[in-house]
């Protein structure tokens, strides 16, 4: 297996203009012989409503059990940031992010939870997962309560 080429690590990189212009990079998993969970939490995700152009905001919690590769965190941050001027529905953003990470690193298991902040009085939560959680691995709760407004 050839060593992946890391092109964004350790240098200034412009924010990609859209998700399709980004490259999720991977690094070798130093503990590929062990099953464990990696969690990324992105509390300030932003995209645009494809109908109105108004901003939409979400909190993402992504858990995965790596196989041979880990997602390189700077490339993931740039990928998520590339949605800022991208118009897409909540469901599309959430599932697209999960699928792109799976494509990049081929984990044993991945679950992504998108907790979208209300606009028009209705929050939308989107969950997507793939693979099987390895036996004996603890998968923590995402830790986000259902939206209750002021109640």
* Beta-carbon count within 10 A of 103 CB: 9
Coil, helix or strand for 74? helix
Q: Which of 28, 124, 16 lies closest to 77, judged by CA?
A: 16
56, 63, 65, 93: the active-site residue: 56
CA distance 122 to 148: 10
Burial of 10 (0-12, 13-18, 19+ CB in 10 A): exposed
**Residue 35 catalytic?**
no
**Residue 93 catalytic?**
no
20, 47, 49, 125: the active-site residue: 49
Q: Which residues have a catalytic role annotated?
A: 49, 56
């Amino acid at each position: 297996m050839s060593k992946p080429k890391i092109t964004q690590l350790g240098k200034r990189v412009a924010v990609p203009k859209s998700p399709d212009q980004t490259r999720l990079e991977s690094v070798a998993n130093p503990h590929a012989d062990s099953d464990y969970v990696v969690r990324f939490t992105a509390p300030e995700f932003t995209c645009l409503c494809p109908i109105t152009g108004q901003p939409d905001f979400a909190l993402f919690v992504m858990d995965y059990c790596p196989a041979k590769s880990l997602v390189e965190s700077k490339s993931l941050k740039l990928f998520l940031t590339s949605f800022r001027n991208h118009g897409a529905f909540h469901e599309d953003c959430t599932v697209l992010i999960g699928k792109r990470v799976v494509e990049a690193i081929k984990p044993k298991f991945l679950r992504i939870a998108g907790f979208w902040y209300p606009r028009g009085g209705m929050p939308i939560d989107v969950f997507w997962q793939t693979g099987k959680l390895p036996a004996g691995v603890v998968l923590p709760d995402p830790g986000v309560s259902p939206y209750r407004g002021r109640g």
